[in-house]
Amino acid sequence: MLLEAVRRESERRRPAATTAAPILQVSTDEVYGSVETGFSREGDPLGPRSPYAAAKAAGELLAWSYHVTYGLDVVITRGSNTYGRTTIPRS
């Protein structure tokens, strides 16, 4: 709904406004699936392994399709979970 609203507003403003505000799609590194060693790269294929990751991947693809089809300014972020041993300083 948000992508469609931005597309319609963008078309309504033409040619007065050169571009609409960018769309920020907040995703997750989980869209890559399991990575046994090393790390994922932006160009790696998507391989979500949970409903959450699949929904995030679908959101990315939908946002990207609006960029390709309608020229909307789309930015996609894929934040990474940080986990592991935590060291708490002792006084």
Catalytic residues: 29-30, 52
Question: Count H helices, E strands: the chain?
Answer: 2, 2
Nearest to 69 by CA among 9, 3, 22, 16: 3
Helix orientation angle between 51-70 and 2-13, rounded to the nearest 10 degrees? 10
DSSP class of 86 = -
